[in-house]
Amino acid sequence: MWSRLMRSDAPAAVILIRLLVGAVFLSEGVQKFLFPDQLGAGRFLKIGLPMPELLGPFVGAFEIACGSLVVLGLLTRLAVLPLLAIMAIALTTTKWPMLAEQGFWVTAHETRTDWSMSLGGLFLLIVGAGPWSLDTRLLNQPRARP
């Protein structure tokens, strides 16, 4: 099962998508702790999410952990799953209401990062981490025999 999750036939250039997706989530997670009023619990309170004091650090920690795993290419397919869930929630709680209130073009402008991160995460879920990853390195290590 692990080998199926870690195997990837993607080209080496997939590292660029990993760096893009992973670094953005890592940065956003750190900022939820640095600026909790604007980007963490305070933002979650403003948009009406439950238990913002718990949810802000919880989401920030997942973004840091999973973003780091994506950058390293370690358990990449598993790491993008929570990130895709975070993006789905972000789009439904903040961007769909914006579409109804402010129209398509304002929403298109404001959602460019959300869509980029979502599509980048889906891409990594489909193709895996590529050859320049810890997934590939661990998968190709010779097994010790007793």
- What residue segments make up the domains of the chain, in order of their start? 2-139
Is residue 1 over pLDDT 80? no
Record the pTM.
Answer: 0.91
Q: How confident is the model over 88-102, as pLDDT tens digits?
A: 999 999 888 899 999
Torsion over CA: 8, 9, 15, 19 (sign): negative
How far, CA to CA in Å, does 60 sit from each of 15, 24, 39, 57? 23, 12, 9, 5
> Rounded to an integer, what distance in angstroms lies between the CA atom of residue 69 and that of residue 81?
12
pLDDT computed for residue 145 by the predictor: 60
Q: How confident is the model over 70-120, as pLDDT tens digits?
A: 999 999 999 999 999 999 999 999 888 899 999 999 999 999 999 999 999
Is residue 38 over pLDDT 90? yes
Average pLDDT of span 9-23: 97
Tokens read off for 39: 């980007």
Torsion over CA: 120, 122, 125, 130 (sign): negative
